[in-house]
Structure 1
């Protein structure tokens, strides 16, 4: 997640010199934006190998990150801002700017709107193949056993594999491996965040898990991938 990366890698920005500040703000301070509202819209094209969604858990940290990156830019309600640091070219649309055609300053309040997709299962048909996953040779070799099981479950008998745990640092290809497996055997893939299975009341989690497996059974054979199980 972007917030986790920022917490682990953020450094205090070096103070700008007076000449740098005057170079950024060429207009009167009255034109500085008081508040802008952004919406995460993703990449300008659909590509299976790239995640076209964003999850932010600390909006205050994102505001600091965004303000530092786009300081001095003129914005209005039709402007698109593109990330050039952690998630290059990921687009954010300015939904509103107060006032219009104003400059992002060090005092501009930046709010973010993100579509909440964590409360539902994403049933997809993956176009990724295992050959698309770079590296992870040992993991791909072990996945071959699951691939054979999905193609011919009867031959495994009582030795049928039940559950698999993928572990590793963010960005090492865990989700891509699962998508590659689903693509190889051409079965539906149920992607779900572990946090979406947590309910407000006792029994909510059990009910959501039951519904998830029931849905998977109706699309059998299929793969259930619960992401961030340790969250």
Structure 2
């Protein structure tokens, strides 16, 4: 048996070969380029181990890395090799009710509305792993633990439905976690739903450098849902 050494990788005379690389800082002759290349393929590691020839066991080593914590500057294109150390926060757009971004959505007494929005995620950070819709009436819809493709095309948005009832909104108006406004003169209650999303690297829309996963920013519908008593 021939010992496993770099000599086994002799370069043929007719070929051009790159130097043999050892995997990271935990071997006798470390080559940081190897880890750099791995980081360009895998956004996060879940453990590094070295084979111990004395005990014939793998032993843990330091050197784990996590998904980038820095937003890419505008000078770095999404497909650039330099972007392995940075990320792009996903974006939410075209948040609307009943497929309109201009006029308010009217509901008489009680009825359903159609809430839609578009999402855009960098191709390296797909899929979406979560979205949360705040309906404004204290109710939340959370979809997580799933893999969802983004929907950047305005003609094919994410779509959800919600039932609003005037008397229910009137009873909930003013309670924490709601944005309900009721007018006793016109007998109308208004509310605005909103949404946030999270990608596979743990970035949410609105996150900034050093704040990956804070997920505090919701994008709100530009128009209101107006629910009347009659």
TM-score w.r.t. length of structure 1: 0.22
TM-score w.r.t. length of structure 2: 0.22
- Larger Cα-atom Rg: 2
More strand by share: 2
More helix by share: 1
